Amino acid sequence: MLNKRYEEILILALIALGDRLKRRRDILSQNLGISTQQWLILLYLGKDPNIAYIDQRDTDKPILASDLAQALNVSRPNITNLISVLMDKELVEQIGEKDDRRRKGLVLTEKGVDVLESLQPKREMLNSELFVNMTEAEKVTFLNLIEKMMCNLTAFK
């Protein structure tokens, strides 16, 4: 017989929350003809300040596919396929780095910027609905707890 444990309740609640958030993200991104992962790539390439795992020190430098793969925790072949689709849709382009032309960085095209900008009001509306009953202090506390959990997961890879 299993005992009721708050750790298990929290994990199951986080899984359920993640599933619901994924469904909402899927609907939002699919309305623009892209997948959720492709949207996340656009956010990374757009250097969205709300993504905690972007190196903000080099904001002028294009992002490499390998950095995206690591940030999104996907394989190199998977990120290559995702980027190819975004390039076919003319949302992303590759540019040679100044120091090493063989290395190709990724940047948003004007069309990619437009897609992100068109998603932003919908993103803000969905986020405000999600957090409507939370104070700013509760949001900060929740974020701090999530960051602690992420650090714990990273430490035990």
Residue type, 134: M
- Check whether 17 has a pLDDT greater than 90: yes
Full-model pTM: 0.81
pLDDT in tens, 53-90: 655 555 677 888 988 898 888 999 999 999 999 999 99
Given a contact cutoff of 8 angstroms between Cβ atoms, the answer to whether 95 and 83 are in contact is: no
Look at residue 76 and give its three-state secondary structure: helix
> SS3 of 136, please?
helix
What is the rounded radius of gyration, in angstroms, for the C-alpha atoms of the chain?
Answer: 18
Q: What is the DSSP string of 34-73?
A: --HHHHHHHHHHTT-TT-TTS-GGGTTSPEEHHHHHHHHT
Q: DSSP E strands: which ranges in 59-124?
A: 63-64, 92-96, 104-108
Beta-sheet pairing, 104-108 with 92-96: antiparallel
pLDDT at position 50: 84
Do the Cβ atoms of 41 and 107 come closer than 8 Å?
no
